[in-house]
Protein backbone atom coordinates (compact mmCIF):
# COMPACT_ATOMS: atom_id res chain seq x y z
CA UNK A 1 0.00 0.00 0.00
CA UNK A 2 1.27 3.46 -0.87
CA UNK A 3 1.51 6.38 1.51
CA UNK A 4 -0.89 9.28 1.12
CA UNK A 5 0.89 12.51 0.15
CA UNK A 6 -0.27 15.50 2.19
CA UNK A 7 0.89 19.11 1.91
CA UNK A 8 2.70 20.34 5.01
CA UNK A 9 1.00 23.75 5.13
CA UNK A 10 -2.60 22.48 4.88
CA UNK A 11 -5.05 22.78 7.78
CA UNK A 12 -6.01 19.08 7.56
CA UNK A 13 -2.37 18.02 7.95
CA UNK A 14 -2.01 20.23 11.00
CA UNK A 15 -5.18 18.76 12.56
CA UNK A 16 -4.03 15.22 11.76
CA UNK A 17 -0.67 15.73 13.45
CA UNK A 18 -2.34 17.35 16.50
CA UNK A 19 -4.78 14.46 16.81
CA UNK A 20 -1.98 11.89 16.59
CA UNK A 21 0.06 13.84 19.12
CA UNK A 22 -2.74 13.70 21.68
CA UNK A 23 -3.66 10.06 20.93
CA UNK A 24 -0.01 9.01 21.40
CA UNK A 25 0.04 10.72 24.83
CA UNK A 26 2.28 13.64 23.84
CA UNK A 27 5.31 11.71 22.60
CA UNK A 28 8.49 13.37 21.37
CA UNK A 29 9.07 14.68 17.86
CA UNK A 30 10.99 11.66 16.54
CA UNK A 31 8.26 9.23 17.62
CA UNK A 32 5.52 11.39 16.10
CA UNK A 33 7.40 11.68 12.80
CA UNK A 34 7.88 7.90 12.65
CA UNK A 35 4.20 7.31 13.42
CA UNK A 36 2.99 9.77 10.77
CA UNK A 37 5.33 8.35 8.13
CA UNK A 38 3.76 4.91 8.45
CA UNK A 39 0.66 6.09 6.56
CA UNK A 40 1.41 9.57 5.21
CA UNK A 41 4.18 11.27 3.30
CA UNK A 42 4.43 14.90 4.37
CA UNK A 43 7.17 17.10 2.92
CA UNK A 44 8.98 19.19 5.57
CA UNK A 45 7.44 17.04 8.31
CA UNK A 46 10.06 18.11 10.87
CA UNK A 47 8.93 21.74 10.66
CA UNK A 48 5.31 20.69 10.97
CA UNK A 49 5.94 18.52 14.03
CA UNK A 50 8.01 21.22 15.72
CA UNK A 51 5.23 23.78 15.28
CA UNK A 52 2.65 21.31 16.62
CA UNK A 53 4.80 20.61 19.68
CA UNK A 54 5.29 24.34 20.34
CA UNK A 55 1.53 24.93 20.02
CA UNK A 56 0.80 22.47 22.83
CA UNK A 57 1.35 24.36 26.06
CA UNK A 58 1.80 21.18 28.12
CA UNK A 59 4.45 19.77 25.77
CA UNK A 60 6.26 23.08 25.47
CA UNK A 61 6.20 23.69 29.22
CA UNK A 62 7.53 20.27 30.21
CA UNK A 63 10.41 20.04 27.76
CA UNK A 64 13.71 19.46 29.48
CA UNK A 65 15.67 22.59 30.11
CA UNK A 66 19.43 22.39 30.43
CA UNK A 67 20.46 22.70 34.04
CA UNK A 68 22.44 25.77 34.96
CA UNK A 69 25.39 24.71 37.08
CA UNK A 70 26.49 27.09 39.78
CA UNK A 71 30.21 27.18 40.36
CA UNK A 72 31.24 26.72 43.96
CA UNK A 73 33.19 29.31 45.86
CA UNK A 74 36.94 28.83 45.65
CA UNK A 75 39.06 29.17 48.77
CA UNK A 76 40.77 32.55 49.09
CA UNK A 77 44.21 30.89 48.99
CA UNK A 78 43.52 29.73 45.42
CA UNK A 79 42.47 33.13 44.18
CA UNK A 80 45.08 35.39 45.77
CA UNK A 81 48.32 36.05 43.93
CA UNK A 82 51.26 34.70 45.90
CA UNK A 83 54.64 32.98 45.63
CA UNK A 84 54.88 29.39 44.45
CA UNK A 85 54.30 26.77 47.13
CA UNK A 86 53.26 29.33 49.75
CA UNK A 87 49.89 27.55 49.92
CA UNK A 88 50.10 23.81 49.23
CA UNK A 89 48.05 20.68 49.43
CA UNK A 90 49.15 17.08 49.81
CA UNK A 91 47.80 14.20 47.72
CA UNK A 92 48.48 10.65 48.84
CA UNK A 93 48.53 7.48 46.76
CA UNK A 94 49.20 3.92 47.70
CA UNK A 95 49.93 1.36 48.86
CA UNK A 96 52.19 0.18 46.06
CA UNK A 97 54.50 -2.85 46.10
CA UNK A 98 58.23 -2.08 46.22
CA UNK A 99 61.11 -4.51 45.85
CA UNK A 100 64.08 -3.76 48.06
CA UNK A 101 67.46 -4.32 46.43
CA UNK A 102 67.73 -5.73 42.90
CA UNK A 103 64.90 -6.60 40.58
CA UNK A 104 65.23 -10.32 41.50
CA UNK A 105 64.95 -9.60 45.19
CA UNK A 106 62.19 -11.45 47.02
CA UNK A 107 61.70 -8.81 49.71
CA UNK A 108 58.55 -6.84 48.92
CA UNK A 109 57.32 -3.98 51.06
CA UNK A 110 54.49 -1.51 50.86
CA UNK A 111 55.21 2.03 49.73
CA UNK A 112 53.19 5.23 49.64
CA UNK A 113 53.40 8.33 47.45
CA UNK A 114 53.00 11.91 48.68
CA UNK A 115 52.66 14.72 46.13
CA UNK A 116 52.79 18.40 47.09
CA UNK A 117 50.60 20.57 44.85
CA UNK A 118 50.79 24.36 44.74
CA UNK A 119 47.34 25.96 45.11
CA UNK A 120 48.10 28.98 42.95
CA UNK A 121 50.05 27.56 39.98
CA UNK A 122 49.09 23.85 40.24
CA UNK A 123 52.78 22.99 40.10
CA UNK A 124 53.78 19.58 41.50
CA UNK A 125 56.68 18.90 43.83
CA UNK A 126 57.68 15.29 44.37
Q: Is 72 part of any domain?
A: no
Count up the domains in the chain and report the number.
2
User: What length does the chain have?
Assistant: 126
Q: How far apart are CA 54 and CA 44, in angstroms?
A: 16
Per-residue pLDDT reduced to its tens digit, 98-115: 888 887 878 888 999 888
CB atoms within 10 A of CB 6: 20
Position 21 scores a pLDDT of: 86
Q: Which pLDDT value is given to residue 37?
A: 92
| Lowest mean pLDDT, pick from 9-13, 22-26, 41-45 | 22-26
Domain-located, residue 67: no
Q: Which long-range contacts (CB under 8 A, 24 or more apart) does 73-78 make?
A: 75/119, 77/119, 77/120, 78/119, 78/120
Residues 82 and 57 in one domain: no
Write out the residue range of the structural domain in which residue 95 sits: 78-125
How far is 44 from 9, CA to CA, in rounded Å?
9
State how far the Cα of 30 lies from the Cα of 37, in Å rounded to an integer. Answer: 11
pLDDT bucket at 60, cuts 50 / 70 / 90: low
Confidence of residue 30 (pLDDT cuts 50, 70, 90): very high
Q: For residues 47 and 80, is the Cβ–Cβ distance under 8 A?
A: no
Same domain, 54 and 90: no
Amino acid sequence: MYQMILPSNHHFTNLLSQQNKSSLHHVGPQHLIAYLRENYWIPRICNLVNTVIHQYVTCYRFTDQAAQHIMGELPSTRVKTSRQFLFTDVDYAGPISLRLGTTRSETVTKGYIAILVCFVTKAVHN
